[in-house]
């Protein structure tokens, strides 16, 4: 990685498992779940769990770099999270902006490029400013791309794409009969973001929660029973090992005929 520093080694001395490159996911989507439960288990306010989760995100990015994973998308704030208490929403808005500023030196040092996916309406201008500032500052970094999904929802993204296509069709710049999956892709928040290979959720919950619905059509889902603040790069590596053992067929199938003397 010329020009960029490697992340410091894990304190335990653990190193990334030797997985052949063809079995390493290109794009990992991460649902950072369990912050509130982590805090409550310790008798702390929910916001303390969000604070503790910052280190977990940086650890996951270190693990992605060490494994050669080029894309990570993190679900930081969903379009549904506005339903939470005013105190928690206010904290998350301020904290997201602060994290982007506080971690910018690390992003630059490790070669992390920041992208932002999500809706501008309703999102605080201070958060938009910090996200866009991080995008500009890191646009030449090429080790790994971290897409921060803030005020993001998979259904909202698809609905916004449909509205934009309808507007272009009405204006005469898009032929409705020519619309296919590639057309829809061009209208998404980040058109060049590759499909998700590994969809990882912490906390033991087993749902995708409206995250990257279009991009995760053929993702391998891995749910881990660990709360997000307790996640580190080893958690990511364990998920990648599970992913590497999966048989990805993309809707295809091949008969596996038993040979002579083989058991059925």
Q: What pLDDT digit, counting tens, does each position of 241-254 carry?
A: 999 999 887 777 66
Residue position matching structure tokens 């603040």: 229
Q: Edge-to-edge strand order for the sheet containing 220-223?
A: 112-117, 144-152, 71-78, 27-31, 198-201, 220-223
Count of CA atoms in the C-beta half-sphere (13 A) of 132: 10
Q: What is the pLDDT of residue 133?
A: 97
**Joined tokens for residue 168:** 């272009």
Q: What is the pLDDT of residue 7?
A: 97
> For residue 31, which phi and psi values (nearest 5 degrees)?
-95, 110
Q: What is the pLDDT of residue 2?
A: 56
Could you tell me whether strands 198-201 and 220-223 are parallel, antiparallel, or unpaired per DSSP bridges?
A: parallel
State pLDDT tens for residues 137-168.
999 999 999 999 999 999 999 999 999 999 99
Closest CA to 67 of 239, 217, 193, 250: 239
- Tell me the average confidence (pLDDT) per consecutive run of 10 residues in the chain, 264 residues long: 87 96 97 96 96 97 98 97 96 96 98 97 96 97 98 98 98 97 97 98 97 98 97 98 90 62 48
3-state secondary structure of 131: helix
Q: What is the pLDDT of residue 260?
A: 52
Active site residue 189: no
Q: What is the pTM of this model?
A: 0.92
112 Cβ partners below 8 Å, 6+ apart? 61, 65, 106, 138, 141, 143, 144, 145, 146
Residue position matching structure tokens 């083989």: 262
Among 47, 81, 98, 168, the active-site one is 81
Q: What is the pLDDT of residue 263?
A: 46
Dist CA 108 CA 145 (whole Å): 12
- How many angstroms separate the Cα of 25 from the Cα of each of 51, 145, 164, 184, 249? 28, 13, 31, 23, 15
Burial of 201 (0-12, 13-18, 19+ CB in 10 A): buried
Active site residue 47: no
Q: What is the pLDDT of residue 250?
A: 74
């Amino acid at each position: 990685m010329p020009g960029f520093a490697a992340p410091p080694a894990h304190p335990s001395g653990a190193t990334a498992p030797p997985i052949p490159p063809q079995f390493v996911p290109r794009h990992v989507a991460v649902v950072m779940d369990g912050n509130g439960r982590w805090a409550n288990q310790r008798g702390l306010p929910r916001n303390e769990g969000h604070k503790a989760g910052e280190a977990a995100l940086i650890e996951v990015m270190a693990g992605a770099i060490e494994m050669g994973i080029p894309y990570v998308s993190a679900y930081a704030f969903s379009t549904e999270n506005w339903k939470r208490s005013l105190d928690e929403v206010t904290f998350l808005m301020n904290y997201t902006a602060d994290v982007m500023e506080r971690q910018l030196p690390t992003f630059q040092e490790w070669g992390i490029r920041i992208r932002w996916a999500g809706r501008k309406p309703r999102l605080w201008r201070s958060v938009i400013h910090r996200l866009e500032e991080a995008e500009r500052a890191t646009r030449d970094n090429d080790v790994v791309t971290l897409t921060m999904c803030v005020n993001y929802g998979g259904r909202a993204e698809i609905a916004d794409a449909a509205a934009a296509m309808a507007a272009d069709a009405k204006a005469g710049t898009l032929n409705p009969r020519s619309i296919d999956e590639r057309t829809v892709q061009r209208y998404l928040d980040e058109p060049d973001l590759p499909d998700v290979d590994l969809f990882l959720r912490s906390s033991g919950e087993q749902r995708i929660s409206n995250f990257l619905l279009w991009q995760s059509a053929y993702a391998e889902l891995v749910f881990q029973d660990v709360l997000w603040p307790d996640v580190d790069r080893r958690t990511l590596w364990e998920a990648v090992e599970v992913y590497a053992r999966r048989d990805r067929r993309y809707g295809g199938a091949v008969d596996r005929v038993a040979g002579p003397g083989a058991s059925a």
